[in-house]
């Protein structure tokens, strides 16, 4: 089978679980921006930024290490060793969070909400112990099982959000179904607020334990140091790289409330500004969906085709088509911001940072390019290079945020994202060209990026007042772009590489 078609098929399945799941999850944004004030949504944004960091700590590179060693040796034994190791360390980490919940809540300036820390400890534990079983599903090409587990957990989480937040809002605030008021007052505590967001997440995640029970039963208590040691050695650079990488993605949400003075944006606290920025940041989710789906299918694909004599040409084509898809997403979102903003960000104050979305999308696109470029150091076992590159990116992120946030607010965070991922991509390409040369088609790739920037700038420059006309043009331009590309690339798209 044509490997590009195989990759596209698996990406589609993973993409369905990621895209459908994330889109369903994203439908919670209108709910949150309806029932919570910006400051409350800022708490949610900040805590999930910390969760992103801790997810890396909990798994410390073992997921990719499992891929590498399981594909070369005994899959079951590699699974048992790596999964048992994650289980043991996760018990320690989450246990420490539970015991120190009060101190952590005080540090985060939520002294009366230590239960949020306890919820997060349990969520992180389930996420961590599920990582290796999910990796095994990917390695065994069980994309459907992977998708069902992910979607089941997300479906339950969304249902519980509706029960805990939407139903009380409609009945108690809007006066619908007055007969339910006494029952809701009895079972739902409005003062619990954002706690219901994390409780729903926790209960939803427990469903994953049920879906993956077959794999959990294969985890044994006996650890062999000489078997675990190579996994740890391989995974340590990836762990450091992961920490640096998540800093690139989440540091702005941690630094913003610390560096931004209250009333920098008139009448808004720094936490409210974070909530507004975080809500607009959510609109870049469409780009992240494409990147995540690609990563799930791409990592096994790159490893399995590494020995193919035509791998460099194959990987170059993958990059080219990937960029085209991402440019299409950038155009589709950026040219329809008013429509999407009104649809997803319900309170007008949440739309104050919509102008940043094209910049954020472009930053994520550059991140996707970096993901493609990073294949060289994974295939030649020079993962330390990825660590250095990610650390360089993290330093750029931190320095630029530290420099610009006090001066231009959350606009500085968006600029930091572009500078970070652009620098990482350039360093990765320059470093890897002598280790694993890949004939990337840079001229057309840069041409696609320039065209996207030009179209977005022109669309914003003309600022059409007729909303219907603006929507029609905003929809037609991305469709025309992808259509013209398909026509011009028809021969290359059908050309088979074996």
CB-based burial, 131-149: b 16+ in 10 Å, e otherwise = bbbbbbbbbeeebebbbeb
**CA gap 79, 71 in Å, rounded:** 11
Segment 169-183, tens digit of pLDDT: 898 888 888 888 888
Distant-in-sequence, close-in-space partners of 452: CB < 8 Å, separation ≥ 6: 327, 330, 331, 362
399 falls within a domain: yes
Segment 466-485, tens digit of pLDDT: 778 888 898 999 999 999 88
Q: Which two tokens stand for residue 427?
A: 């360093």
Q: Which two tokens stand for residue 211?
A: 């879906």
| 219 and 343, same domain (yes or no) | no
In Å, what is the CA distance from 397 to each residue of 107, 247, 280, 386?
Answer: 23, 8, 19, 16
Q: Which two tokens stand for residue 308?
A: 């193919």
Stretch 69-80: mean pLDDT, rounded? 81
Q: Are residues 410 and 261 in contact, defined by beta-carbon separation less than 8 angstroms?
A: no
**CA gap 326, 448 in Å, rounded:** 10
- Average pLDDT over the chain reads 87
Stretch 378-395: mean pLDDT, rounded? 86
**More confident of the two residues 141 and 233:** 233
| 309 and 176, same domain (yes or no) | no
**CA gap 457, 222 in Å, rounded:** 59
Vertex 318 angle, CA 313 and 320, to 5°: 95
| 203 and 326, same domain (yes or no) | no
| 22 and 46, same domain (yes or no) | no
pLDDT of 496 > 60? The answer is no
Helix (H, G, I), strand (E, B) or coil at 205: helix
| 8 and 126, same domain (yes or no) | no
pTM > 0.85: yes or no: no
Segment 307-325, tens digit of pLDDT: 777 788 888 999 999 999 9
240 falls within a domain: no
| 201 and 315, same domain (yes or no) | no
| 13 and 54, same domain (yes or no) | no
Q: Are residues 268 and 31 in contact, defined by beta-carbon separation less than 8 angstroms?
A: no
pLDDT tier for residue 265 given thresholds of 50, 70 and 90: very high
- 17 CA to centre of own chain: 14
Q: Which two tokens stand for residue 4?
A: 């590009």
Burial of residue 166, with CB atoms counted within 10 A of its CB: 0-12 exposed, 13-18 middle, 19 or more buried: middle
Across the chain, how many H-helices and E-strands are there?
24, 0
Residue identified by tokens 């944006």 is 265
| 19 and 82, same domain (yes or no) | no
| 415 and 479, same domain (yes or no) | yes
**CA gap 237, 234 in Å, rounded:** 7
Q: Which two tokens stand for residue 21?
A: 């799941």
242 falls within a domain: no
> 3-state DSSP helix/strand/coil percent for the chain, to nearest 5?
85, 0, 15
pLDDT of 5 > 50? The answer is yes
252 falls within a domain: no
- Residue whose C-alpha is closest to residue 252's, from 417, 120, 26, 365: 417
Q: What SS3 string covers 20-51?
A: HHHHHHHCHHHHHHHHCCHHHHHHHHHHHHHH
Give the total number of structural domains in the chain: 2
**CA gap 281, 284 in Å, rounded:** 6
Q: Which two tokens stand for residue 481?
A: 């772009």
pLDDT of 133 > 80? The answer is yes
258 falls within a domain: no
364 falls within a domain: yes
Among the listed ranges 169-173, 207-211, 280-284, 461-465, which one has the minimum average pLDDT value?
461-465
Among 188, 206, 223, the domain boundary falls at 223
Q: Which domain holds residue 74?
A: 36-223
Among 166, 192, 223, the domain boundary falls at 223
396 falls within a domain: yes
Residue identified by tokens 């940041």 is 281
**CA gap 40, 165 in Å, rounded:** 14
Q: What SS3 string covers 291-314?
A: HHHHHHHHHHHHHHCCCCCCHHHH
pLDDT of 491 > 70? The answer is no
**CA gap 28, 166 in Å, rounded:** 10
pLDDT value of position 117: 95
pLDDT value of position 70: 83
Residue identified by tokens 């030009």 is 454
| 342 and 469, same domain (yes or no) | yes
pLDDT of 166 > 60? The answer is yes
CA R_g for the chain: 23
Compute the half-sphere exposure of residue 171: CA atoms within 13 Å on the CB side of its CA: 18
Among the listed ranges 143-147, 264-268, 481-485, which one has the minimum average pLDDT value?
143-147
pLDDT of 146 > 90? The answer is no
Q: Quickly list DSSP for 453-485.
A: HHHHHHHHHH--S-HHHHHHHHHHHHHHHHHHH
| 287 and 212, same domain (yes or no) | no
| 331 and 477, same domain (yes or no) | yes
231 falls within a domain: no
**Percent of the chain scored above 90 by pLDDT?**
46
């Amino acid at each position: 089978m044509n490997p590009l078609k195989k990759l596209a098929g698996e990406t589609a399945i993973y993409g369905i679980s990621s895209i459908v799941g994330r889109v369903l999850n994203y439908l919670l944004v209108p709910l949150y921006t309806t029932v919570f004030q910006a400051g409350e949504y800022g708490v949610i944004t900040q805590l999930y930024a910390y969760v992103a960091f801790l997810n890396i700590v909990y798994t410390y590179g073992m997921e990719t290490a499992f891929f590498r060693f399981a594909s070369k040796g005994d899959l079951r034994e590699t699974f048992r060793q790596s999964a048992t190791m994650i289980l043991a360390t996760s018990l320690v980490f989450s246990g420490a969070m539970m015991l120190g919940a009060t101190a952590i809540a005080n540090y985060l300036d939520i002294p009366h909400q230590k239960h949020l820390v306890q919820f997060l400890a349990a969520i992180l534990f389930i996420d961590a112990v599920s990582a290796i079983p999910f990796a095994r599903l990917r390695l065994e090409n069980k994309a459907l099982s992977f998708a069902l587990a992910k979607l089941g957990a997300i479906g339950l989480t969304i249902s519980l959000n509706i029960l805990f937040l939407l139903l009380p809002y409609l009945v108690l605030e809007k006066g619908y179904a007055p007969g339910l008021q006494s029952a809701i007052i009895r079972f739902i505590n409005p003062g619990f607020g954002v706690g219901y967001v994390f409780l729903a997440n926790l209960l939803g995640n427990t469903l994953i334990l049920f879906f993956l029970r077959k794999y959990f039963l294969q985890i044994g208590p006996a650890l062999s140091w000489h078997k675990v040691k190579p996994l740890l050695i391989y995974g340590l650079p990836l762990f450091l790289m992961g920490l640096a990488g998540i800093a690139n993605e989440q540091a702005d949400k941690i630094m913003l409330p610390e560096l931004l003075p209250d009333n920098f944006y008139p009448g808004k606290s720094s936490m409210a500004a974070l909530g507004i920025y975080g809500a607009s940041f959510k609109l870049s989710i469409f780009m992240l969906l494409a990147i995540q789906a690609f990563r799930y299918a791409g990592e096994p694909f790159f490893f399995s085709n590494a020995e193919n004599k035509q791998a460099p040409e194959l990987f170059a084509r993958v990059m080219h088509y990937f960029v085209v898809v991402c440019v299409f997403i950038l155009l589709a979102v950026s040219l329809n911001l008013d429509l999407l903003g009104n649809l997803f960000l319900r309170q007008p104050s949440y739309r104050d940072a919509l102008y940043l979305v094209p910049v954020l999308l472009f930053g994520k696109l550059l991140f996707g390019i970096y993901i493609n470029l990073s294949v060289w150091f994974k295939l030649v076992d020079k993962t330390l290079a990825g660590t250095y590159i990610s650390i360089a990116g993290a330093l750029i992120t931190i320095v630029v945020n530290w420099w610009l946030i006090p001066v231009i607010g959350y606009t500085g965070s968006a600029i930091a994202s572009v500078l970070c991922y652009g620098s990482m991509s350039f360093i990765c390409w320059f470093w890897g060209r002598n280790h694993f040369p890949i004939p990337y088609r840079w001229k057309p790739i840069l041409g696609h990026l320039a065209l996207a920037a030009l179209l977005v700038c022109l669309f914003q420059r003309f600022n059409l007042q007729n909303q219907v006309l603006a929507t029609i043009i905003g929809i037609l331009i991305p469709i025309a772009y992808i259509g013209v590309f398909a026509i011009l690339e028809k021969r290359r798209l059908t050309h088979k590489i074996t």
